[in-house]
């Protein structure tokens, strides 16, 4: 048989599928963390491929902050229906009770809703393996994280004490209470993700495409006024709303996710803009810069995904 070499996307896809099947074969209670972003979208698509014709044999878990874009909630619910998977939504009750929000609480917002919320959700359901859509090209400390990343019973990550990961042999063994985070798309770059979405028609949140949207400026960055009434309530004033053609490079909480002015309305145009841009992907997010150069590494040791 004369067959062409596999392309890089075919190899990345096979690697991710192999990883997901290993987890399902070896873990007792796996779950897929689903943030509704483009990386999550690709990860979900890969899961559907890995187990077809079965639906992926694990639920989706959305650790919600209540501050996501409306369009994200819509796609989330649609994808859960289409994939035939259970959707679990978790909101940290303490953060809810204390009204933690991105304006008044800064870093605490991420810590309470996301870091604490994730730990609580994993403990509540007893999941021992959680798929995450992190990529090694996103951030320096991620570049060194294993694909199967071990967490202590208190969800800590010890970067100096990671299990060696050779060939495609993954060690999923752990003691009671301990868990693993699994990153099936570790070796994908942002361009790979976009290309894959393009080739496979993977559904993504429309906010990735440019459109005229209501915006406001805050702390020197451009944001979308996704829920003006709520914004006004928290800020204590109504920010000046201006219609602009914008899109998002990453999606998180709407008051924390900076928009970029753009006219890229199709996938090829988005990819084009991404490739020609000179600002790195996570820059729109406030989170990485909190603790100086080592921001993400510190967050991860504390249990952030």
Residue 91 binds another protein, judged by CB under 8 A: no
Residue 7 binds another protein, judged by CB under 8 A: yes
Sign of the CA dihedral with 234 first, then 240, 245, and 250 last? negative
Radius of gyration of the chain (CA): 19
Sign of the CA dihedral with 275 first, then 50, 127, and 63 last? positive
- Could you tell me the CA-to-CA distances from 41 to 48, 104, 111, 210 in Å, in that order? 11, 31, 24, 19
Which residues is 30 bridged to in the sheet? 129
Binding mask 271-290 for another protein (x = CB under 8 A): xx--xxxxxx--x-------
Write down the least CB distance from residue 42 to another protein, Å.
14
Residue 233 binds another protein, judged by CB under 8 A: no
Residue 221 binds another protein, judged by CB under 8 A: no
For the purposes of burial, counting CB atoms within 10 Å of the CB of 239, is it exposed (0-12), middle (13-18) or buried (19 or more)? middle
- Interacting stretch for another protein, rule CB under 8 A, among 107-115, 185-193, 217-225, 241-249? 185-193
Binding mask 237-276 for another protein (x = CB under 8 A): -------------------------------xx-xx--xx
Peptide bond into 130 cis (omega under 30): no
- Interacting stretch for another protein, rule CB under 8 A, among 64-72, 162-170, 225-233, 238-246? 162-170
- Could you tell me the CA-to-CA distances from 244 to 67, 94, 223, 232, 263 in Å, in that order? 21, 36, 10, 19, 10
**Of residues 33-62, which lie at the interface with another protein (CB under 8 A)?**
48-55
Residue 193 binds another protein, judged by CB under 8 A: no
Return the exposure string of 282-291: e unless at least 16 CB atoms fall within 10 Å of the residue's CB, then b.
Answer: eebbbbbeee
Q: Interface with another protein by CB under 8 A: which residues? A: 1, 3, 5-14, 17-18, 21-22, 24-25, 48-55, 136-137, 140-141, 143-144, 159-160, 162-169, 171, 173-175, 178, 186-187, 189, 191-192, 195, 198-199, 268-269, 271-272, 275-280, 283, 293-294, 297
């Amino acid at each position: 048989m004369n067959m062409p070499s596999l392309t890089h996307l075919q190899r990345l896809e096979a690697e991710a599928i192999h990883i997901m099947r290993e987890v399902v074969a070896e873990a007792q209670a796996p779950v897929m963390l689903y943030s509704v972003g483009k990386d999550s979208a690709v990860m979900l698509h890969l899961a559907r491929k890995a187990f077809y014709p079965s639906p992926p044999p694990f639920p989706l878990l959305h650790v919600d902050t209540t501050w996501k874009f409306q369009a994200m909630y819509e796609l989330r619910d649609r994808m859960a229906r289409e994939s035939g998977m259970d959707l679990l939504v978790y909101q940290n009750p303490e953060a809810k009770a204390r009204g933690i929000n991105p304006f008044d609480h800064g870093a605490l917002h991420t810590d309470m809703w996301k870091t604490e919320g994730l730990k609580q959700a994993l403990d509540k359901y007893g999941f021992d393996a959680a798929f995450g859509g992190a990529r090694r090209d996103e951030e320096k400390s991620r570049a060194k994280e294993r694909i199967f990343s071990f967490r202590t019973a208190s969800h800590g990550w010890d970067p100096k004490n990671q299990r060696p990961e050779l060939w495609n042999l993954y060690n999923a063994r752990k003691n009671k209470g301990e868990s693993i985070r699994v990153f099936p798309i570790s070796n994908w770059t942002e361009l790979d993700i976009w290309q894959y979405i393009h080739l496979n028609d993977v559904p993504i949140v429309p906010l990735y495409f440019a459109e005229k949207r209501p915006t406001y400026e805050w702390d020197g960055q451009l944001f979308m006024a996704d829920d003006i009434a709520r914004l006004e309530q928290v800020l204590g004033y109504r920010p000046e709303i201006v219609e602009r053609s914008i899109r998002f490079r990453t999606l998180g909480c709407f008051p924390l996710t900076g928009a970029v002015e753009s006219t890229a309305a199709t996938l090829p145009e988005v990819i084009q803009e991404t490739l020609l841009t000179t600002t790195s992907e996570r820059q729109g997010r406030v989170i990485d810069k909190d603790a100086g150069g080592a921001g993400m590494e510190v967050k991860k040791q504390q249990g952030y995904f």
